Every structure is written in C-alpha cells, then in structure tokens.
C-alpha cells in the first residue's frame, strides 16, 4: 500500500511539481540566506585567513581580529624570548585614505608585513613579485582594490570602461607615493576597504610616524609545540594575549581568533538579527507555500482516502501513507533546494559576491526544517483524513 501511496504522489505530475516547487523554494531560501549570512560573518575574520600564521599575539585588551590596539615594537623581543617560539614577525594594520591620481580618495586597509620573512604575505600574487616590496615606496594591491581604484577611460568608440590599477601605477597614502609592484588575490574583509600590502617599516612612514604601529605579532612555534600550547606560554610570560588561527567557529577552542571574532560580531552587531529575520521569512514562506500545496494535495485526494478508508484501511495505514508522501516530497524538495543553493553558491564563491559559506550544519538544519514542514503538513492531512466520514464515499 505504501508503494501505491508513492504512486499516488507521483501520479499527478502537476500537483507534484507545485509541491516540490514550494518545498525546494523554501529549502533554497533557508540554505541560501543562511549561507550568505555565514559568508558575511566569515568575512569578519578575513585577516586570520589572509595572513596565514599559526599564532597571533595582541594587546591583552583586544577582543577580535579587526580591533587593533597597537603595541610598542619592544614587545617583539619579549615574545621572541618566550620558550618555544621559533620566530616572531610584526604586523601592522590600519584604515587609511588613499588618494588616486584623479584626486579622489578611497578607504583602504594598509597591511604592513615583515620585510625579512614576508610573514603574513598574501598567498596568491597574480601579478608582480612579493620581493619587489623591498624597493622604495612600493605596495601590493588586492584585485578588488585594483578594480575599485581603477580609472574610467573613454575608449575610441566612446564607451567608458574601468581600467584597473596595474603594476607601475602610482597613488598616494597621506601624500606619500605608493607605487604598485604587484596585484594579489585575497579574501575580502567585512570592515574597511581593499587591502594594500607594504612592509612593516614603510607602514610607519605611511601612517606618518604614529607612536605605536605594532597591531599584532605573528609567531611560529618550534617543532613539537602546538599553537595552543605556545599561546599559553606567551600569555603567562608576557601578559599579552595570544590566539590560535583555526577557523572552526563551532567548537569551543577559546583561543581561536577567528571564532572570537565571529562571535564578537554576532553579539555586538545587528547582522545576526537582520539575517535571522530573512531566514525566518524564508522558513515562514516555505511553511506557508509547501504546507498549502500539500494540504491541497490532501484535499484533492480526500475523496480517495475516504474510499480507501471505507474499504477497510485503518487510520494507521492511512497515516503512514500520508507521512510517506509528505516525507518523500520533503526529501526531494530538500534535495532540489539544497542543490540549487549550492549551484548558486558556487557562482557566488567564484564571484566572491555576496559571500557564501555553506556549513554542513546549515544543510542539516535545512533538512530538519524541511522535514518538519513535511511532517506538519502530513499531520494536518492525517487529521483531515481522520475526520472524513467513510460514509461520504456514497455521496456523489
């Protein structure tokens, strides 16, 4: 009988299509909105991803990766002397205005890295070489920045196109020349503008000799010492704060800078709320649409369920038929919706806009919610069928 229940479901292609549309749409909406949300949230710890170090050291008051409380350069020596430290490199980050050749100002994130080790350098340099940063007044700009700071140029056909910055181009930071020697590819950040890389020492020049420029220190443990262990040693010996750089935000590793950054934004900004509203809306629309289509499926078949009931099917059998129908529709709808979300996500990841991170947890939650919608619909159907009088089969 359960096989027939499925055949009943698949027999009406138009109804089934409607039902699957509703279910997959809601699954898509939920998975998609949540993934964009986590994508945006993952941008909050972009520095941790881009900088690639095992241990970050900061002022003890720092709470997250975008919150630099500059330290004195002498702190480098203190950390270097901690047992288990292989090396330490300085890192500067600050938000500055850059002036383009045409006189326009753009907000940038200046990143100063150690010129000896290049610790914290971008992983992917698409044009130029990192070593050229050792030349005077040079910077490396990320692709997004190259686009953003590019110049509109009128072509021979009169069409205006944006010509991105390229190696050799020059702009100014605080009236000091910045000559581009490379273009890199890095992940975008939640705060500030595009990334402009320079050496740590030159970042002091660009920031006009600010008293403290040591935003973070990047440290590497010697072989046999775990990052977490090194963090512990650094903290106890220097009184500074040390962080690990794993980007798992779900576990409870207290030292993860990415995790602390993520949850800091979660607690201190309105993003979770506004996105929560979007996700709730998706869920709501999903429940309404698919609940409604499943309900109309049941209504349309009520007459036949009544006939089956009259022929002696127990409520248990009828209930199981409805649950099988609903759960099957729910599973297919989830599959389609999650598949679509993933396909759209792939395009988004390629473009980098909007950010998209689909955690398995999100998929599981979407599955659970889609199943929930199906089960609720089935229960409504079961109540409806249980109320239908078997005697109605004799009435036209």
Q: Is 296 near other proteins (CB under 8 A)?
A: no
Q: CA 201 to CA 210: how far, in whole Å?
A: 12
Q: Is 14 near other proteins (CB under 8 A)?
A: no
Q: Is 7 near other proteins (CB under 8 A)?
A: yes
- Cβ neighbours around 29 below 10 Å, total: 22
Helix 271-310 and helix 2-11: axis angle, to 10°? 110
Q: By CB under 8 A, name the one of 309, 329, 334, 363 that touches other proteins.
A: 309
Q: By CB under 8 A, name the one of 75, 145, 314, 345 that touches other proteins.
A: 314
Cβ closer to other proteins: 28 or 332? 332
Where in the chain does DSSP place strands (E)? 55-58, 85-99, 105-113, 124-128, 138-142, 151-154, 160-163, 170-173, 176-185, 195-199, 216-221, 241-244
Question: What is the phi-psi region of residue 103: left when phi exceeds 0, alpha when psi lies from -120 to 50, beta otherwise?
Answer: left
- Cβ neighbours around 192 below 10 Å, total: 18
Here the tokens at position 49 are: 């991803």
Shortest separation between residue 303's beta carbon and other proteins, angstroms: 7
Q: Is 303 near other proteins (CB under 8 A)?
A: yes
Question: Which of 376, 208, 354 has the alpha carbon at shortest distance from 289?
Answer: 376
Q: By CB under 8 A, name the one of 170, 313, 320, 376 that touches other proteins.
A: 313
Q: Is 204 near other proteins (CB under 8 A)?
A: no
Q: Is 100 near other proteins (CB under 8 A)?
A: no
Q: Is 131 near other proteins (CB under 8 A)?
A: no
Cβ(392)–Cβ(337) below 8 Å: no
- Span of 72-80, 137-145, 287-295, 311-319 interacting with other proteins by CB under 8 A: 311-319
Shortest separation between residue 389's beta carbon and other proteins, angstroms: 7
Q: Is 304 near other proteins (CB under 8 A)?
A: yes
Q: Is 1 near other proteins (CB under 8 A)?
A: yes
Cβ closer to other proteins: 100 or 302? 302
Q: Is 307 near other proteins (CB under 8 A)?
A: yes
Shortest separation between residue 311's beta carbon and other proteins, angstroms: 5
- Cβ neighbours around 81 below 10 Å, total: 11
Shortest separation between residue 12's beta carbon and other proteins, angstroms: 5
Q: CA 285 to CA 177: how far, in whole Å?
A: 54
Q: Is 302 near other proteins (CB under 8 A)?
A: no
Cβ closer to other proteins: 8 or 379? 8
Q: Residue 138's beta-bridge partner residues?
A: 179
Residues 315-334 that bind other proteins (CB under 8 A): 315, 317
Cβ closer to other proteins: 16 or 149? 16
Shortest separation between residue 381's beta carbon and other proteins, angstroms: 15
User: Long-range contacts for 2-11 (Cβ within 8 Å, ≥24 apart)?
Assistant: 2/320, 2/321, 2/324, 4/321, 5/320, 5/321, 5/322, 5/324, 5/325, 6/324, 6/325, 6/328, 8/301, 8/304, 8/321, 8/325, 9/297, 9/325, 9/328, 9/329
Q: CA 322 to CA 316: how far, in whole Å?
A: 10
Q: Residue 199's beta-bridge partner residues?
A: 113
Cβ closer to other proteins: 257 or 332? 332
Q: By CB under 8 A, name the one of 40, 271, 310, 331 that touches other proteins.
A: 310
Shortest separation between residue 304's beta carbon and other proteins, angstroms: 5
Residue numbers at the binding site for other proteins (CB under 8 A): 1, 3-4, 7-12, 301, 303-304, 307-315, 317, 389-391, 393-396
């Amino acid at each position: 009988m359960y096989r027939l229940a499925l055949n009943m479901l698949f027999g009406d292609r138009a109804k089934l299509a409607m039902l699957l549309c509703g279910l997959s749409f809601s699954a898509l909406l939920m998975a998609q909105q949540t993934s964009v949300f986590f994508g945006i949230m993952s941008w909050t710890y972009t520095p941790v991803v881009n900088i690639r170090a095992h241990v970050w050291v900061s002022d003890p008051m720092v709470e997250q990766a975008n919150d630099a409380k500059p330290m004195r350069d002498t702190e480098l020596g203190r950390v270097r002397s901690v047992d288990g430290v292989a090396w330490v490199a300085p890192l500067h980050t600050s938000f500055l205005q850059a002036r383009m050749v045409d006189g326009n100002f753009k907000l940038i994130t200046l990143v100063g890295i150690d010129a000896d080790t290049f610790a914290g350098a971008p992983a992917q340099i698409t044009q130029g070489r990192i070593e050229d940063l050792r030349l005077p007044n040079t910077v490396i700009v990320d692709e997004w920045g190259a686009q953003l700071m590019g110049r509109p140029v009128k072509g021979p056909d009169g069409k205006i196109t944006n010509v991105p910055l390229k190696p050799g181009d020059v702009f100014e930071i605080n009236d000091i020349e910045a000559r581009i020697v490379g273009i890199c590819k890095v992940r975008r950040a939640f705060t500030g503008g595009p990334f402009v890389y320079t050496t740590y020492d030159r970042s002091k020049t660009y920031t006009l000799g600010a008293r403290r420029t040591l935003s973070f220190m990047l440290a590497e443990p010697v072989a046999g010492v775990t990052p977490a262990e090194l963090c512990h040693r650094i903290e106890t010996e220097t009184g500074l704060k040390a962080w690990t750089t794993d980007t798992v935000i779900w576990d409870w590793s207290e030292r993860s800078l990415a995790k602390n950054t993520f949850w800091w934004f979660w607690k201190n900004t309105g993003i979770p709320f506004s996105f929560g509203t979007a996700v709730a809306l998706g869920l709501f629309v999903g429940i309404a649409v698919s609940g409604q289509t499943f309900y109309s499926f049941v209504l349309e078949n009520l007459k036949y369920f009544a006939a089956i009931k009259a022929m002696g099917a127990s409520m248990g059998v009828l209930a199981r038929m409805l649950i099988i129908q609903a759960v099957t529709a729910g599973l297919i709808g989830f599959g389609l919706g999650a598949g679509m979300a993933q396909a759209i996500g792939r395009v988004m990841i390629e473009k980098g806009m909007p950010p998209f991170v689909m955690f398995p947890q999100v998929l599981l939650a979407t599955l659970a919610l889609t199943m929930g919608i199906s089960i609720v619909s089935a229960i409504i159907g079961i109540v409806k069928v249980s109320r239908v009088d078997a005697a109605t089969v004799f009435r036209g």
